[in-house]
A and B are shown apart, each in its own frame.
Chain A
Amino acid sequence: MAGLATTFGSGAMTNTINELDQSQVILVAGSNTTRTHPQVARRIYNAVDRGAKLIVIDPRKTKIARHAHIHLQINPGTDIALLNGMMRCILDENLIDDLFIEMRTENYLALRDMLLAVDLDKIEKITGVSRSTIARAARTYAHARRAAICYCLGVTQHICGTANVESYANLAMLTGHVEQEFTGVDPLRGQYNVQGACDMGALPAVLPGYQSVFDPDIRKKFARAWGCQLPENQGRTLLDMTHGARNAGLADERPDPLKVMYIMGENPMLSDPTLGRVKATLEGLDFLVVSDIFLSETAELADVVLPAACFAEKTGTVTNSERRVQYSKKAVNPPGEARPDRLIIQELATLMGYPMAYGSAAEIMEEICLLTPVYGGIYHDRLQRSWGLQWPCPDREHPGTPFLHKYSFTRGKGHFTPQHHVDVAEPVTDDYPLALITGRSYHHYHTGTMSRKSALLNREHPRPRVNMNPQDAEKLGLAEGMRVRVSSRRGSVPYILHLTDEVPPGELSSDFHFREAPTNMLTIGASDPIAHCPEYKCCAVKVEVDHV
């Protein structure tokens, strides 16, 4: 998100999901869309049925890549090089949108100078995609009047994730593919309410509505509303928290590890990279509190576990990937003594000497509306009478905003940020000759806490699989269905081998839904310096037969 925030001023999908139906060209990057965003994939297929061209950038031959008119099967982590190649072609063939660049953007000359120095032969070598294919994709994207880019974690989960996103934004601005209906740059947000959690300021550097904690006026506004002083120092990001344990015996510059953690409905013991370090950190805490609906791998380590209500047992709002704030209504009572997290937090705050007395979720929303300009008119009563409202929605009369950046970018002018290729943090070696890419399965969700409790979903995908190209399997003497052990420098995990040409030779792919095969034992903690997104999409591993 940080990448779009610097270039456009707002880190969210610029369009609605339904607009994709009408696009002429759709560029899908680092997204296994049919699996992880089935409704988005449905719109993309609708568009293709109507004659739209589909370009997919992905190292894997995913289902959507098989249906693409042009599949740019790049080497993992080479998006920037590919995009610089595409933009160079667009520049050489004069397919740029001069008027848009002149009126709506800044820093174009820096981008142009960088592109003119680009060596297309070198790009061919880095990306593994031929010059002619890159040029064909560039022309297809640039010629369209309405072209949308959909990207997902394959773009962001790299050490250069922010730079990757900025490069996609460069491409869109160079060709004027922003600001209109059916046209834009759309980060597909993966989880239920990940957009909302960001919007609500569950991030170290921002208060609700992306208002900076470093701005004294903003802090003053919240201090007055909340009746307390607000902290002004930099908070810790997720990885700073869950990777806090210091390496024994090594000189370590990091600050003291945390003493206490409060974790609401998250499972870092499966979801975070380099699980060995996460475990050491959580076990090293003086006190760990977890509220969850199941005894997750993280809750098993806790000192206090609080039983929470699930989505069907409480009323509230959630925000989907297209910024649509929607009303979710309580249907049944929570089991036993379980309570909604709202009541747990209110009671804890009251016990700690800060009374929080909200009678309902609607009352909390009123406070959010008052303090958060982009949510200013999103009251519960309006949501109950509609299919939700898309922010920005500054007041009660505002109808919401289906697509962003009409007439001007949130930050004023769109900012071109030239970027250069960055090598992956852990290239393959003779000892660890394969690159592991992690992703998601169609039948499971995140750490499997919910989906693995579902009989049908578990029946469809009961065992942890690792996908390998048949050519590699033949070389290693492995066969479909064998028990194998995948090892990296950090750990080793057992899987069932699945042979498929979805992954190219030299690469493996797997998911992280299974506690019996915690893929994140293998992954590296190296992360993007700005967004702190770990490099899940590439780490060096080897495969052996598991003789158990």
Chain B
Amino acid sequence: MSANGSPPRAIPRDSFASRLIEAVAGLADRPMAWIQHAVGGRGMAYVFLAPNILFFGLFVFLPIGINMAMSLTGGTNLFLSERPFVGGDHYRALMQCGSYLDPASCREDHFWKGVSNTLKFTLFQMVAMVGTALVTALVLNRKIRGRGFFRAVYFFPVLLSPVVVALIWKWILQRDGLLNGAITLAGGEKILFFVEPGWAMFWAVFVSVWAHMGFYTLILLAGLQAIPADLYEAAEMDGTKPMRVLTRITLPLLWPNLVVVLVLVLIKAVQTFDEVFVLTGGGPGTATLMVVQYIYETAFANQVQNFGLAAAASMLLGSLLFALTMLQLWIARRKAA
């Protein structure tokens, strides 16, 4: 593109969309110009950042601060001013373990069981999710008949609320559900999926992949479509093997999208709660109890709404997640470099 020529446009000039943008954004031109005059071009960075930071401060950082204060107080009152200070009691209770490798030896065994289940779930789910989304995106990127239809089909489950997703699959997987019906028809024995810990975890992962895969497929598909066709043509002329094209052209060029997908999948997996809860109820026993479920139940579902303990648990979880995100981004950056 030339330095003084018109920039490449995503939206055709004079289209309805471009006129809409012009009309809406144009309203702010004057005030923004005054502001820029006042703060200078570089100062505009802060202006652009300000609204988001304001919301962030009010609804993320302030609550995290309150949460921290709450984790140091006890009792069942809601307002901080009415809650007695207990120091690190909640943290001590959470960390009181016979052995850190065995959740059952801890005083708050369900918290540690939740952490370990969540880690397990996250790991399995990330591999399965990224794998299937990538394969699906590759297939959907081919020139196939009815591409629009197939894309819609894979995306459709994304529209369902977590509760509905879990309910559908619960009906399919129960003792006399559709799947066991098919198994007995094929001459097999009914399997009680929600009584076997291994099966319960498998289906928890499967159902969450089923429900969200479409969204990640879409992101990867967008990345695949942006890879210039001439790269493939050049590879073809050089006689490069298909696998090599995949690893040398497709995947590296897809890397930015893959990082986005990996981060999003990780975030969503760690936050998993209602979907798995409605599907397995955290069972059998505590085999699929997630840490967010523990925190939610401690703060809400029990008669004694133990906000302090829940806050302490969420602070511990928060620091763990922070470390995980940093680690993941560090790996992604090294890989990209």
A binds B: no
| A interface residues, Cβ below 8 angstroms from B | none
